[in-house]
A and B are shown apart, each in its own frame.
Chain A
Amino acid sequence: MSDALLTMDDVRASYGDFQALFNITLEIRAGEIVTLIGANGAGKTTTLRVISGLLRSQHGQLRFDGQDISKLPPHEIVVRGVSHVPEGRQLFPHMSVEENLALGAYIGRVRPKLKDLVEEQFELFPRLKERRRQLAGTLSGGEQQMVALARGLMAAPKLLLLDEPSLGLSPKIVEEVFAKVQQIGKSGVTVLIVEQNVVDGLSISDRGYVVENGEVTLQGTPKELLGNEQIRAAYLGL
């Protein structure tokens, strides 16, 4: 319990009258890569939105780095060390790659290190260096995902939230994205990743959680989850 970076205990959240999360209970330890799997509409994105403060939780505990963050606005949660790379990349389309990255380092703590951080991202994603002056909206899907990842890393986060980074990408690019995520994890960043791509997601993870209808119903190591009959039937079509 004590070395948990993120703790969610019986977290509930709603969009207006519609309750999307009923009981999200999970724990992520520093240095882990954890995957969240679940069907469409299960509440995976909503879970990430609650963590990053885009949506308020209505019940339960949400603690990051030992502190309650459930009442903080999103821009303060970024300052605490959570970086959310949202579903669908959500870049700033009329800005260059460089400007998108610069915005990733908006918070005061990292702003003075802007140049070094950009260089780090260019080392991790050499293709972005070639495209540094191109408008983000004109990049290919794979390149846009790289920008989204790099922009998320610019805040030098302790916890990186990744929402379906492989969505809409060709298998080869998906492989590349997962390799990068693994590399990011090795560099010491804790990662919570939401994936439809269950096998690939779990293969780079330490542990996984299953979300069904707004509730965490299962957890385990990749091996346990991939061996589970229910999961094989529901997500792998086996």
Chain B
Amino acid sequence: MSASLPDTAPASPGDETPVRRFPIAPLFLSAPAVLLFAALVLTPLFLTALLSFNQFDYATGRTGGFTLEHYLAVVTDEYYLEIFLRTFRISALATAICVVIGVPEAYILSRMTNPWRSIFLLVILAPLLVSVVVRAFGWSMLLGPEGPVNGALIALGIGRMKLLYSEGTVVVALVHVMLPFMVIPVWTSLQKLDPAVEQAALSFGASRATAIVRVVAPQILPGILSGSLIVFGLSASAFAIPGLLGGRRLKMVATVVYDQYLSDLNWPMGAAVAVILLAANLIIMLTYHRMVEGHYRRRLG
């Protein structure tokens, strides 16, 4: 854009070239984190990737050698394709719902005055203190055939409905678990806004809704972006929720990996699925990040 400016305008602020030398302090300070990351994340990841290229002998259960058959099997088998598609569909839906619920929630929270703000922030964060497994069991009791929801439906004359083991239930439960991860980054970026900017929009006669859409929302987009990435990533690799609420038939990628490892004992196959999930997740998230953030980098800095 700056290229089209007339000559009278000074050049756009260019990046300064840093002095090239090897500062020791940053290396030293980041060493513990790098070591921890290498030992606990990269090593298992590397081993998993290696494992995924091993052959597997069903008769003996032995692994070894080199093959691409697991990857070929995943890519060509419609069973796996369906599971991957379902996983990303459910994650995308959960992310979208988290945006729709979480962003207004964060906005309202940021407009509250103090005793209430602290109380509601606590309410939003409290679920994080309860194990996901416990919450998944809670949902399954709530939605089970004899649970209170079905009880109410019967009492209303609508009749019993099959709520558990459906995609909808998994999405709802995921949203419940992931919501704080959306609210917190959005709330953080709302904290950074100058309230006068929204007031300026109002002073020009904008309605509250217009002010939010045209002025507030674009400024908190980075927060929404990071919230979405966290929610999508966690949802796509979620295990406890689909495992407990999706049942045996409604599988997601993480539950398939689990099955391969522990039921079929086909570790290389499980590893291959896991590696593909990681790769797909990375590609989707990076694309999304580029699309949205590239658009706003120059404006918001």
Decide whether A and B assemble into one complex.
no
* Chain B residues near A (Cβ < 8 Å): none
Q: Name A residues whose Cβ lies closer than 8 Å to a Cβ of B.
A: none
